[in-house]
Structure 1
């Protein structure tokens, strides 16, 4: 199992870290809210709302990252260490993205998002 594949697993779980922050940062989530957690999350604001937004974005980008890693591995033209480094950089960019979202640093968050998307594209370019 390569580092890049482990990074896919990490990427799959990052949205749930954001979900936890969204649900529990305001101290209002409990058994009653668990009957309709999406309804509850639609009522939060502040850092909880930003965490929910980060969660949604993480769910959107993870399939592209996973596909890029898998396709690059199947094509096999790139050195495995290159794919591992790109994957770690992508996970780092996602962690920075989440931090920027929670801190409400909108411009920096957008820059980090672009870097992450560039990293996804780079899996294809290094595999040519």
Structure 2
């Protein structure tokens, strides 16, 4: 079995970083640059501050939570597919598709496009299931 760091593994790293992008959007959209007294981001109570947000910051925070929730299944699917000797070309393509769908999902969540967001989430889940079963014989 090839022991190189595959594109699918790089996609795991990117997927793990996507929640941080959401956090930046949530905090930036809600008050970075303003003092706590002005309602700006409160690093002394970040979770409490985020819970009080509405609109874009709240949606970005929800996208962050969902990104963390989906991450274990994606990581597991990629590892299992590698261990089962899945065709690397297909594994890389599906992993890349998953990351692109997750990025689109975040953009749609932040833009408040609920129906398209849900369809994109479902497509990402289908791709993740496909990754899991890619090495099945």
**Partner in structure 2 of residue 66 of structure 1:** 75
Cα deviations by residue, 1:69-119 (Å, 9 ceiling, x for unpaired): 00100111x211110000000000001100110110000000000000001
Runs of 4+ aligned structure 1 residues displaced above 2 Å come to 26-32
Q: Is the 8 A contact 1:23 1:29 kept in 2?
A: no
Unaligned runs of 5+ in 2: 37-41
* Structure number with larger C-alpha Rg: 2
Partner of 2:102: 94
**Superposed CA RMSD:** 1.3
Asked if 1:21 corresponds to 2:25, the answer is yes
Unmatched tracts of structure 1, length 5 or more: none
Report the alpha carbon displacement of residue 28 of structure 1 after superposing the two structures with TM: 5.1
Q: How many residue pairs end up in the alignment?
A: 127
Structure in which a larger fraction of residues adopt helix: 1
C-alpha distance 30-60 of structure 1, shift in aligned 2 (>3 A) = farther
Residues in 2 aligned to 1:31 and 1:68: alpha-carbon distance in whole angstroms: 43
What is the aligned partner in structure 1 of residue 39 from structure 2? none
Tell me which residue corresponds to 2:14: 10
Q: TM (normalized to structure 1)?
A: 0.94
3-state SS, counterpart of residue 84 of structure 1: helix
TM-fit CA distance, 1:44: 0.7
